[in-house]
Chain A
């Protein structure tokens, strides 16, 4: 049973480009969470999704950031017009239902140059 898969592991983008981060949850998991970790900081909640629904996006910046979890395929975190401050590790987690333990992927390290 494969764990949570995130790709790419490392992503370099120039300022102004778009970044797309992918997350395939564990088999049987329909709940996905995205977190961001800035250097030397903790994990900051961004968004919580179920299949085809955004449940809670209270941690997501209002502009340039969007997330989706379609009926088929991985969850996507999209950052438009990236800036240097977007450089961070982005982690995805999944759980079989709300209120249970969430399992994390290895993360995508985004570097904006």
Chain B
């Protein structure tokens, strides 16, 4: 039962353009969402988060959008840089539960120079 889904296993984007990574969830109890970036042989690195009381959160080149009615969130990276090439995971949890984070399967982003 995959409660958090990232349906695009990979994405290629030209340097300087926008990267949009998508994530869907099924559990309406989720109320906090996070994005992590992961390089090979390293642990995931926290990027940005959003609470369900918001629909947008921005941090530098990274913006996360949340559409609660569609149970969908997206991460926008603009402008994309070659160093952004990594696997991106979205994660979610419910503050009414045990706070365990449920992760999607990841999207591999490749930014082409």
A residues with CB within 8 A of B: 4, 6, 31, 33, 35, 41-45, 48, 55-56, 58-59, 91, 93, 95, 98-99, 101-107, 109
Cβ-closest 6 pairs across A and B: A98-B99, A104-B43, A42-B105, A56-B98, A43-B103, A104-B44
CB-defined A-B contacts under 8 Å, sample of 10: A4-B43, A33-B101, A42-B104, A48-B100, A56-B100, A93-B101, A98-B98, A104-B44, A107-B42, A107-B43
Using A41-B105, A99-B93, A101-B34 as known contacts, say yes or no to A48 and B46 having CB atoms under 8 A apart.
Answer: no
B residues with CB within 8 A of A: 32, 34, 36, 41-46, 49, 89, 91, 93, 95, 98-106
With beta carbons under 8 angstroms apart, the residue of A42, A56, A98, A105 that contacts B103 is A42
Determine whether the beta carbon of B102 is less than 8 Å from that of A102.
no
Determine whether the beta carbon of A101 is less than 8 Å from that of B43.
no
With beta carbons under 8 angstroms apart, the residue of B32, B36, B44, B46 that contacts A99 is B32
